[in-house]
Amino acid sequence: MKKFELTAEFITNVFGKKLFRIKALVAFGNVKKGELGGFIEKEDNLSHSGNAWVSGDAWVSGNACVSGDARVYGNAQVSGDARVSGNARVSGDARVSGNARVSGNARVSGDARVYGDAWVYDNAHVSGDARVSGDAWVYGNADYAVVTGFGRYFRATTFFRCKDKIIRVQCGCFYGDLAQFREIVKKTHGDSKYAKEYLAIADLMELHFSDEEENQEAAK
């Protein structure tokens, strides 16, 4: 049984694709029959089973899919081959794209960006100006950290665990591990205050993400 339909109201995204506002055909979860939702490109973008829903001015496009009891709302956008499932929530101005996965009780909000092959799941909350990309594997809040207010442009720099257990960094257009981050910092900023700040942050993040048990064993 279908729980929603596409209405005649639509918007056009930056790729020229029409996204249609949805309307609930039956009551489910907190959604009332006849309630208008957000925008999707096609029915495959939203599962007809479960309580999954897209609302507000949020939209889902491409081959992306929202399923289970997941919610996408606010001005959030889910695109590409992304999947939002379980009891996950994507809200605010957040963007989830590429092959990214957001599941479990995970939350992505604010101006956060999750893309590439990144996974955000369980009870993790990715918010603010965070940028989680590549092969990131964010299982909980301890798996990523965002530092803001440093560097020439005061941009947000995100540090996160990846599937191969390596800590990687997203800062502006840069994406790489801590060693590569230190290298580009020295190349770009030389011996300036900016370089010293970024290198100190890299040292802090290395400590932050280190395994406490491994450190204790090494100290014996």
CA dist 205 and 64 (Å) reads 33
* CA nearest to 189, candidates 138, 153, 135: 153
Find out whether 88 and 72 touch, Cβ atoms under 8 Å. no
pLDDT digits (tens, 9 = 90+) for 40-65: 999 999 999 999 999 999 999 999 99
Residue 28 confidence (pLDDT): 96
Sheet with strand 167-171: strands edge to edge: 144-147, 157-161, 167-171, 174-177
pLDDT digits (tens, 9 = 90+) for 58-112: 999 999 999 999 999 999 999 999 999 999 999 999 999 999 999 999 999 999 9
pTM beyond 0.85: the answer is: no
CA dist 43 and 47 (Å) reads 8
Which tokens in the block code for residue 162?
Answer: 């990846």
Residue 113 confidence (pLDDT): 93
Torsion of CA 112, 115, 120, 126, to 10 degrees: -10
